[in-house]
Amino acid sequence: VKEFEAGSQATVALVIDRTKGHDVGRGVETSLEAMVGHAAFLVETLLRQGVRVVLPQVDPESPNHANVQERTAEAMRSLALLEADRSETLSQELSEIMLPGGSVVYVFHAVADPELPSVGTSLIGRGMKVVPLVYDCASFGKNALTSAVEARYVDELQASGLTPQVMTVGGLDEDIEPQPVGAKR
């Protein structure tokens, strides 16, 4: 994730796919675990940079006055509670998000959501930037679902004005960045 200058973004929201059946993999090596781990890294990094970070699915009314350590701990507790047990789709959850214009919304998902391009376009129309962080279902040993990294789906995201980034399963740290679609390492 590109470096944020303190105060350069109104809000960064992290939204993780919690749709039942979309947690691909087994045990602790699942798409949800990878996404939560990457989200935790982003929370810590962005909060240290002075960026306001929200997790609208689990703590939409998070206090802005908490210091960085308190806010980080609160976000980590919230992330730990996430389960892929929702009947609502990722797009349905996104369509209900209320954020100020200028916000950046990172959307973590491994399974393609056919409504995300149109919901993303709607969020863009409300002044937000939408960055889908897409994971490959095959990385978690399951190919039966339509992976979020499939070319046709990624093309639809891009055509809708979204800026998808392909995520690696090995982890996100200071040396590993989300890769723009088509980027080579």
Assess whether pLDDT exceeds 70 at residue 26.
yes
Give per-residue pLDDT as tens, 77-127. 999 999 999 999 999 999 999 899 999 999 999 999 999 999 999 999 999
What is the domain extent for residue 84? 12-176
How many separate domains does the chain show? 1
Give per-residue pLDDT as tens, 30-77. 999 999 999 999 999 999 998 989 999 887 655 555 688 888 898 999
- Assess if residue 62 is contained within a domain: yes
- Assess if residue 184 is contained within a domain: no
Assess whether pLDDT exceeds 50 at residue 170.
yes
- Assess if residue 1 is contained within a domain: no
- Assess if residue 138 is contained within a domain: yes
- Assess if residue 160 is contained within a domain: yes
- Assess if residue 183 is contained within a domain: no
Rounded CA separation 39/97 (Å)? 18
**CATH number of the domain that 28 lies in?**
3.40.50
pTM: 0.85
- Assess if residue 72 is contained within a domain: yes
Q: Please count the other Cβ atoms lying within 10 Å of the Cβ belonging to residue 49.
A: 17
- Assess if residue 5 is contained within a domain: no
Kindly state the tokens that stand for 73.
């701990």
